[in-house]
Amino acid sequence: MTEPITLPTGGPAHPRPPAVARDALRDTVRAHLPRGGVLLTGPAGIGKTTVVSQVVADLAPRGHRVLHCSPSPAERDSAFLGLIDLLTGVGDDVLRALAAHERALLETTLLRSAQPWTTDPGGPAGGRDALVLRIAVRKVLAVLAAAGPLLLVVDDAQWLDRPTAEILRHVARRADPGLRVLVTLRTDPAGDDLGPAADRREGCAGAAELCPRPVHRLRVPPMTAHEVAELLERHDHPYWPRALTARLHQASGGNPRTALELSSALDDRVRGEGRELPDAAEPLPVPGSLRRPILARIGALPADARRTLVVAGAAVRPTVELLRRAGRQDAAADLDLCVRHGILDVLPEPGHGTIRFLDPLTPMVLRAETPYERLVAAHRALADASDDPVERAHHIARLAAGPDPAVAARLTAAASAARRRGAPGTAARLGRLAAQYTPPGQADADIARRLTAAEDAIEAADLDFARQLAHEVLGEARRPAERVRAWNVVIDSCGQAMAEIADVFPEAVHDAADDPGLLAQLHYRMSWREWMVGGSAARAHGHAVRAAHLAAGTGDRRTELMALTQQAALELFLGLPQAETTLAAALAAPHDAHAMTHHNGPLYLKHRFHLVHDELDEARAELRTLVYRLRQRGSADSLSHCLIGLAQVEIQRGRCRPALTIARQSLRIAEESALSQGPAWYAVSLAETAGGSLSQALTAAETARRHSEDDNDRLFLPRALHAEGRIRLFSGEYEQAAELLRRTAESETAQGQRDPATRRWHADLAEALAAVGAPREAGAVITLARHQAERLGRPGVLATLDRAAATVSAARGDLAHSARQLEHAAVRLRAAGYPLEEARTQVTLGRVRRLLGDEAAARAAFAGALRIFTKAGARSWVSLTRAERDRVQDGSVCAPEGGSWAEHLTSTERSVVARVAQGASNREIAAGLVVSVKTVEAALTRAYRKLGAKSRVEIARMVMARPAG
C-alpha cells in the first residue's frame, strides 16, 4: 500500500460533462458548419454537449443566431415539443412574414394560439396541414438566415419527437445558404436508453438527415490521461498521483463523466473512511450509479454465460481460445450472448477471437461482486491455460497468499519478458510485485528488483512511481552501488528540472566514494546539469570527457557511449574540430541497445550533424528510423524528443502540415507521460509559426518559455526565447523581437556557442536590430556569425546571413544593393534546400523592389514566394504574402517617383505616405516596410511638415488627387 496523502477540499462530480477545451474538435466543427451540417456522436457523458457549448460560445459573439433544443427521454412522445423548444426565442415579428394560414397553423403548433386545427382532424402531424407547417417553419428559418448566419442545434437527437424530426429533415433537404445545423447523437455501445429497437436501427442515418448536405460526422473521442487530470483539477477534486490518475483514465475509458464519478467515489473512501490510496493491485471503488447498470446487464445473462464472463474479466488479454483452454467449453456461445447484451465485442482474429469489454468498468465490477473462491478458481484455470509467461505470472501472483520465492522468481522472469517486448510499464509493475513477494531474508534480491522496476518505470515515463521506488531503496540500502543506482533514478526522473535536485549530487558523489564505475555515471549526469542549470557548455564538456574515460576503464559501455555522445554534442556546440571524431567513436561497435535508441544517444545526435551540414534528407531518414524503433519499444521521453527533432526537420524541408501533426504528437506524449513540456511546446511553436497561425504559435512559444523558466532549464530557454522573438519579428513587433533575440544571443554566447548552425538565431537578431534602427549592432552580429560559419563551412547559415545583411543595407537606404544581396541569398538558400527561408527572402526582396518603384519585379518576387509557401502549407506566410502582393497590384496606392506631393519627399517618406493613404496603421506600415514603428512615425512627421498637412485625411486626399508632376 502507498503512503496516505493529504487531500485538499474537493467536491462531488459535476452533473454535466466538464469544461475542458477540445480545441481541435471544436475547430473542426466550426470549419465544417458553413459547408453543411455536423453530426457529433458518442456515448453518454463523453462531452458532446460541452463541445456544442464551446462552439456556440465562439459563434454567438460573431453574429450567429442560435436556435437550440435539448430533448429528454420523457419528451420523445410529446409531439412538436422539440419544435417549440427550438423556436422559443423567435418573436412574433418574424412570424408576420408568413401568410395568414401559415402563421395561424404555426402559432397553434407552438401553443401561442388557442385556435383549433380546422383542416385535418389529426392535427398538423399529417396531410395538408403537415405540408403547410413544414413550409412555414422553413420560411421562418429563411427570414432569420437572411438577417445573418443561423445555427440550429439539436442536442441528444435520439430523444427528438418524430413530428419535429420530420420538419427538420424537410428543412435540411431545402436549406438556405445561411443555415448551419449541429446535431448530437448518443451512440452508447451498450444500446441503453436509445429508444425502441426500431428507432435504434435508424441510428446515425436518421440523425444525419437533420443536417443539410454534405454532412460531416465526427465521433467525440475519449479524453486523454492529461485531459482527465485537467478535468479533475478544474472540478476541485483531490490531487491524485499520476499513476492513480492514469488508472482513473483507464477505468473510465476516457469518459469525463465516468472519471468524475470514479474520482468522487475514491475521494469519499479515502477522506470519509480514512483509508489509504489503493495500490496497483487493489481495485478502484465503483459508485452505485455506475455499478447498477452494469450489474443489470450481467444479471440478465444465464448462469453459464456469467461464469464465462468472470473468467474473461480475470484474464489479462482474454481470447476465445484461452477461455476454452481454461475450461469454458461453450465460450463461443456464451460470449455471443454477451455481445447481444451489449457487454463486450469479440474481434475476429484467426484462431483467437480477442475479447474487448465495451465498458472498462465491467471487469472491475465483476471482480468486486464475484465470490473470492470463484475468482481464485478463475485465476488458477487461466494460469494453467496461458502459454504467455507474463500472463501466467500475473495469475500465479493472484493465487499466492504471501511472500514466495518461486512466485517472485516467476514475476521477475515475466518482467524481463515484458521488457524485451517493449512494455516497460508492465515490466515495472511486475518487478514491483516480484519485490513484494520476495521473502524477508532476501533483502539484496528485494532491492535489486525494486531498482530494476524503478528503471523500467523511467522508461515508461511513470516518474512518480520511479521516484517512490528509488526513495524506498535509499531508506534501506547501504551498498554504494545500490545507493548510486537509486540516486541515478531520482536524477533521471526530474527531466528538464535538474535545478530542483541540486542537493542530490553531493550525496550521490559521497556514496560513490572512489568507485570509478559509479563516478562515471554521476559525471555523465553532472555534465547535463552543468549545461542545463549551470549554463556552461565548457564545464559540461569536462564532465562528459571524465565520464567517458572512467566508463571505458571499467568496461561500462552504455555509460561510455552516452558520455561520448554528450561530449560530441558539446564539441559541436562549442565549434571544436574533434566533434566528428568523437561522434564516430560513439557510433562504433560494440553497441548498446539502450544507448542506440535513446534521445541522448549517438543515433539521435547523428541527425544534428547532418543538419549543420544542410543534409536535411539524411537527417529525416535517421529520425524516421529511430521513431519507428521507439514506437515499437522505447521510452516515451525518447519518442517525444525524436518527434520534436523530426518536426523541426520537416519545417526546414518545407513540409509544414506534417510538422504540425508531429509536433502535436510530441506534446501529447509529454502531457500524458508527465514529462517536462518545455521542449514539446517549443516544437509546437515552430510548427505553428510555419504551418498554423502566428497567434497560436505565440501562445505555444510563451508556454515553452514559462516551462523552461519554471524548470530553470538554460538549455531550452534560449530556444523558447528565439521562437518567441521570431514570431514577434514576423508580426512586425520589432522592439519586442529585438529584446527577446538579444536575450537569446546573450544566453547562447554565455553558454559557449561557437557554431551558428547549432542554434540559428543570428540572422533573425540582425534583421530585428535593423528594423529598430540599430544597423551597426546588426552588422556586428552578422560579421561574427559569418566568421564562425566560414571557418566551419556552414553554407546554409551564410545564406541566411546574406539576407540579414540585405536588410541592414535597406535600413541604411541602399535599396539597390539590398536587392542584389537578396537575389543572391535566395539562390544560395535554394541550393542549400531551405524552401521556407528562400520564400521568406523573396518576400523581403518584393518589399525592397516595391520601395524602388519596380512594381513588376516586386510582383514577381511575391508571386515566387507565394508559390513556395502554398506548396509547403505555410498558412500564416501565405496570408502575409498575399497581402503584400495585393498592395503592389493596387496601383492607387503605389508611391510615385514624382508628382506635386511627392517631389520633396524622400523614398521612405513617399512609401509611408502612400500607405497612410491606403488606410494602414503605423504598425502595419512598419511591418510592410521592414522598419520600426518609430521610423514610420518620424517619416510621417517630416511628411506632414513638408506637405503642410494636418491629418491623415488630408494626406489621403493629396495622394488620391495625384496631379502629374
The DSSP secondary-structure symbol of 898 reads S
Query: Which residues have CB under 8 Å from 798's CB, separation 6+?
Result: 786, 789, 790, 828
The DSSP secondary-structure symbol of 18 reads -
Judged on CB neighbours under 10 Å (0-12, 13-18, 19+), 816 is: exposed
Please name the helix (run of DSSP H) or strand (run of DSSP E) that holds residue 660, with its range, or none: helix 656-672
Place of cell 515566387: 864
Pair 178, 145: CB distance under 8 Å? yes
Cα radius of gyration rounded to whole Å, the chain: 34
Pair 612, 755: CB distance under 8 Å? yes
Cell for 844? 523581403
Residue 193 carries which side chain, given as an amino acid letter? Answer: D
Q: What are phi and psi of 943, to 5 degrees?
A: -65, -40
Pair 586, 561: CB distance under 8 Å? yes
Q: How many residues does the chain have?
A: 965
Pair 314, 367: CB distance under 8 Å? yes
Distance CA(791)–CA(787), nearest Å, equals: 6
Q: CA 98, 100, 102, 103: dihedral to nearest 10 degrees?
A: 70
Name the β-bridge partners of 184: 40
Distance CA(747)–CA(741), nearest Å, equals: 10
Convert the pLDDT of each residue in 121-146 to its tens digit.
Answer: 444 555 678 888 998 898 888 888 88
Pair 738, 774: CB distance under 8 Å? yes
* Beta strands per DSSP E along 187-298: 215-219
Distance CA(5)–CA(477), nearest Å, equals: 25
How many CA atoms are closer than 13 Å to the CA of 940, on its beta-carbon side?
24
pTM above 0.85, yes or no: no
HEC per residue, 311-359: HHHHCCCCEHHHHHHCCCCCHHHHHHHHHHCCCEEEECCCCCCEEEECC
Judged on CB neighbours under 10 Å (0-12, 13-18, 19+), 590 is: exposed
Distance CA(364)–CA(744), nearest Å, equals: 53
Cell for 46? 463523453
pLDDT of residue 281: 65
Residue ranges of the chain with per-residue pLDDT less than 70? 1-24, 114-127, 188-205, 273-274, 280-281, 349-352, 887-904, 907, 918-919, 927-928, 930-931, 950, 953, 956-957, 959-965
Distance CA(767)–CA(729), nearest Å, equals: 8
